[in-house]
Amino acid sequence: MFESHQKSTGTGYTMTVALLAVAFIFSPAVLVISRPIGYGPAALAFVCSALCVVWAWANWTKSSQLTMPSIASHRETPN
């Protein structure tokens, strides 16, 4: 259960998941829908997907660096 005195560890992966969804779902879907597929649109979709994957990786590594105080458990005081 969530407690109000616990601090957030700073792991926000929502943007990482959104970027990966754009890279692997949205960009290929737009490419398939926009027929006929030529070299130009395919290259643009590939570059967009690659940029999203790199940006997601950078966001993941930035969000994954936790400090020891942020993951230390809160000690309960005896009553």
pLDDT attached to residue 14: 87
- Tell me how many domains the chain contains: 1
Is 28 inside any structural domain?
A: yes
The answer to whether position 58 is within a domain reads no
Please enumerate, as own/partner, the contacts of 70-76 that have beta carbons within 8 Å and a separation of 24 or more.
70/7, 70/8, 70/9, 70/10, 71/9, 74/3, 74/5, 74/6
Range of the domain at 33: 14-52
Cα(54)–Cα(32) distance, integer angstroms:
23
Euclidean distance between CA atoms 24 and 29, whole angstroms: 9
**Tens of each residue's pLDDT in the chain, 79 residues:** 455 555 555 556 888 899 999 999 999 998 888 887 788 888 999 999 999 999 999 988 887 765 555 555 555 555 5
Q: Is 4 helix (H, G, I), strand (E, B) or coil?
A: coil
Is 60 inside a domain boundary? Answer: no
Answer whether 0.75 is exceeded by the pTM: no
